[in-house]
């Protein structure tokens, strides 16, 4: 029955057999699955999703999804259902230079100047947002975090003191979400919170990870607990062989375009299927990273050998993976045949303003930005370099490269790109005329202080591997940002227009 549903996209099969009273129509007409803004849809705004009442006969135990299981365990309960308000034990709390001072400020105000954090080994402080700037307040915020970490004996503080040379700082890492993974803080089955919306990235490791504000973080600092409402889960099953020109960024932009920027509000997005199983950890991170752009509470991918391999190489802390039960309830089911998908972009000014990259080839661009937690990891640069090398041409517009972390930067300079005769990413970038890879940080993804490298200070058109393109996101309010995969970004740099990477990859 599910396969009889016709949607506007031939690659999507939406099964609504398990939708229970949450405002979704059972068989949406093609016109209702809009790829653009959600004005025509009625979004049910709920903080508490309406709970479905399964027709149980008393002793039948309801199956739970991955997220429900993780939260149940963290709340020391045997069973939870969506809608339950529960107190959850936190395994890791992350904060950075922008929200850390506020979170600690609230912690001290509420728990007392002499209060101690609940566990100095479970807090990870990662300066990454406004680092390489002369903005005095930004610099001060890193100093404030240093003070707090010293006072509280915080074990993991990836400090930076020498802003002139990032390599001179032994502890500095860079972008928090990538650093968390690289430093072994992401583990299946755990609860990870961060004062940043893209904390959902860590869901790639089969854990519950979501962003919170300063006040919630201040509360966690003191108690190690947080009050959460259990979200229902939307399941996205991606099957089929990943085409050589497609990346995880294309997959998530495809999905957000399908369900809109509020399509997953208050819900979990669970990704599974043969395509997911074929993805590397970094690609899985890209997928989960943008869950928040669909309004999602958290994203999650079942852990497997790929996950265990990555994690066990970086930490010896034991973990316990969990998986959705066969009889778990999902609030929506989407299926994608990935082999039929094409590279996509999100046009200005919304992450759900999806369009095929090849249909935007007349859009003239002014610059390209490759960086951020979404698209500035080692594999993202490898991909861009691979395309540039295959093309053998020079970029036509300024192309800014911002490695997410120190490790990524080193990989860019040290690792040979497959099929490029031993050349490194850095060499290929230089030959193609890109800007020199800069100091690792969040950079211009979110604009930042006025002197931030690659900030959009004029109303220009930029193709970017970042995560949001709302007005003013990278600086100038009239700037036009096209969100894209690293392949699409590199291809666009070569032509000076938004370009489908197949122009250079096939």
Point out which residues bind other proteins (CB under 8 A): 37-39, 43-45, 47-48, 85, 87, 98-99, 101-102, 105-106, 108-115, 129-130, 135, 137-138, 140-141, 143-144, 147, 195-197, 199, 211-216, 218-219, 222-223, 227, 261-262, 265-266, 292, 295, 297, 350, 446-450, 468, 470-473, 477-478
**Shortest reach from residue 33's CB to other proteins, in Å:** 17
By C-alpha distance, which of 88, 161, 159, 92 is closest to 120? Answer: 92
Residue whose CB is less far from other proteins, 87 or 327: 87
Give CA 468 to chain center in angstroms: 11
**Shortest reach from residue 84's CB to other proteins, in Å:** 11
Q: Is 169 exposed, middle or buried (0-12, 13-18, 19+ CB in 10 A)?
A: middle
* Contact call for residues 248 and 286 (beta carbons, < 8 A): yes
* Contact call for residues 479 and 498 (beta carbons, < 8 A): no
Length of the chain (residues): 506
Q: What is the C-alpha to C-alpha distance for residues 463 and 396, in angstroms, rounded to an integer?
A: 13
Peptide bond into 10 cis (omega under 30): no
Residue whose CB is less far from other proteins, 61 or 140: 140
Q: What is the C-alpha to C-alpha distance for residues 462 and 469, in angstroms, rounded to an integer?
A: 10
* Contact call for residues 130 and 160 (beta carbons, < 8 A): no
**Shortest reach from residue 154's CB to other proteins, in Å:** 15
Tokens of 107: 């912690």
Q: What is the C-alpha to C-alpha distance for residues 14 and 30, in angstroms, rounded to an integer?
A: 11
Residue whose CB is less far from other proteins, 188 or 448: 448
Residue whose CB is less far from other proteins, 417 or 456: 456
Q: What is the C-alpha to C-alpha distance for residues 158 and 334, in angstroms, rounded to an integer?
A: 40
Residue whose CB is less far from other proteins, 261 or 368: 261
Residue whose CB is less far from other proteins, 113 or 362: 113
Residue whose CB is less far from other proteins, 137 or 364: 137
**Shortest reach from residue 340's CB to other proteins, in Å:** 29
Long-range contacts of 420-425 (CB under 8 A, 24+ apart): 420/385, 420/386, 420/389, 423/389, 424/385, 425/381, 425/382, 425/384, 425/385
**Shortest reach from residue 104's CB to other proteins, in Å:** 8
Residue whose CB is less far from other proteins, 84 or 239: 84
**Shortest reach from residue 298's CB to other proteins, in Å:** 10
């Amino acid at each position: 029955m599910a396969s009889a549903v016709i949607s506007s996209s031939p690659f999507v099969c939406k099964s609504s057999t398990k939708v229970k009273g949450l405002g979704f129509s059972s068989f949406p007409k093609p016109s209702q699955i809009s790829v653009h803004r959600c004005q025509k849809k009625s979004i049910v705004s709920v903080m508490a999703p309406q709970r479905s009442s399964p027709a149980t006969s008393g002793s039948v135990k309801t199956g739970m999804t991955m997220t429900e299981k993780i939260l149940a365990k963290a709340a020391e309960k045997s069973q939870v259902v969506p809608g339950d308000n529960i107190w959850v034990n936190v395994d890791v709390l992350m904060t950075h230079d922008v929200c850390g001072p506020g979170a600690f400020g609230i912690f001290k105000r509420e728990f007392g100047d002499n209060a101690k954090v609940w566990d100095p080994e479970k807090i990870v402080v990662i300066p990454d947002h406004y680092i390489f700037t002369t903005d005095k307040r930004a610099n001060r915020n890193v100093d404030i975090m240093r003070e707090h970490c010293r006072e509280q004996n915080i074990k993991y503080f990836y400090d930076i003191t020498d802003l002139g040379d990032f390599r001179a700082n032994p502890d500095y890492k860079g972008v928090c979400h990538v650093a968390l993974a690289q430093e072994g803080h992401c583990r299946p089955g755990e609860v990870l919170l961060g004062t940043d919306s893209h904390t959902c990235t860590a869901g790639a490791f089969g854990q519950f990870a979501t962003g919170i504000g300063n006040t919630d973080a201040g509360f966690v600092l003191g108690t190690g607990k947080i009050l959460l409402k259990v979200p229902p889960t939307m399941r996205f099953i991606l099957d089929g062989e990943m085409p050589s020109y497609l990346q995880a960024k294309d997959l998530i932009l495809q999905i957000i375009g399908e369900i809109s920027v509020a399509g997953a509000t208050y819900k979990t997005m669970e990704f599974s299927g043969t395509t997911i199983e074929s993805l590397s950890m970094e690609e899985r991170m890209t997928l989960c990273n943008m869950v928040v752009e669909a309004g999602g509470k958290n994203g999650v991918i079942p852990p497997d050998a790929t996950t265990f391999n990555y994690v066990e190489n970086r930490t010896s802390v034991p973990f316990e993976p969990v998986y959705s039960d066969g009889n778990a309830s999902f609030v929506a089911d989407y299926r994608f045949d990935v082999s039929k998908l094409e590279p996509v972009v999100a046009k200005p000014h919304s992450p759900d303003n999806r369009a095929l990259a090849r249909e935007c080839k007349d859009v003239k661009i002014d610059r390209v930005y490759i960086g951020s937690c979404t698209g500035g990891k080692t594999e993202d640069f490898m991909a861009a370099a691979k395309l540039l090398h295959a093309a053998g041409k020079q970029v036509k517009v300024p192309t800014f490269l911002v490695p997410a972390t120190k490790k990524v930067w080193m990989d860019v300079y040290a690792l040979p790109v497959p099929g490029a005769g031993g050349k490194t990413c850095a060499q290929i970038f230089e030959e193609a005329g890109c800007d020199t890879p800069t100091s690792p940080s969040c950079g211009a993804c979110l604009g930042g202080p006025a002197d931030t490298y690659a900030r959009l200070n004029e109303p220009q058109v930029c193709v970017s591997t970042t995560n949001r393109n709302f007005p003013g996101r990278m600086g100038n309010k009239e700037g036009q940002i096209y969100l894209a995969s690293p392949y699409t970004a590199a291809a666009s740099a070569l032509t000076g227009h938004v370009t489908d990477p197949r122009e250079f990859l096939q």
